[in-house]
Amino acid sequence: MNTLEKLFLENKAWIQEKLSANPDFLTHLAQNRSPDIFWIGCSDSRLHADEITNCEPGEIIVHRNIGNQVVSTDFNLMGALEYAVDVLQVKHIIVCGHYRCRSIKAALDRPNPSLPFADKWLRNIKDVYRLHRPEIENLDSLDERWKLLVELNIREQVNNLSHSQVIQKSWRWARRPELHGFVYGLHDGLLKEVCSMTPYSALDPIYEYDLDCLTA
């Protein structure tokens, strides 16, 4: 049995198991849902938001990319963010990274000339490293530096969210959503919050939009 055949077989087994437990599963799934959470996670194959939070399909809207980054020129993410905030009216946005993230480790090293596109994306994490270089390099071991950069990157991505016009507009007129930075431990399976921001959090004025010219 090849890899794709196994996928189809497991898909059939999965839906049979779901329907055995709940005959209305597909009917319920087909209904419109209004999730309260928009989750921005890492592309790592070991991290699935629904699974690690024990949520049912439809409870979380998810966007994933390498290193759980919030980049203002990533129109895929920005479009999903706008939809989640303005249309779904989510109450919480979670940026979730994880310890032992290989993209974070790669950002601690020199660029890899054989992976030019990946290196362009990782440059954003390298910027986080550069901003916090003294704090990171003050640590003795690679594992300690790696762990700290994972957490600092999560904090920076939450800050990047707060710098977006989508978030600032919603904060001003709807007083939502709250922003959270989570880290997931592959060693223990647990989530931990490392930072948060609310509609009342102070922003550096250099990132604040002048919203007086817009209407709610």
Query: Catalytic residues, which ones?
Result: 42, 44, 46, 98, 101
Pairing of the two strands 191-197 and 178-184: antiparallel
Contact 91, 176 (CB under 8 A): yes
Half-sphere CA count of 121, side-chain side, radius 13 A: 15
Distance CA 142, CA 108 (A): 9
Per DSSP, what are the bridge partners of residue 62?
39
Question: Using the 8-state DSSP alphabet, how is residue 201 labeled?
Answer: -
Closest CA to 127 of 207, 72, 195: 72
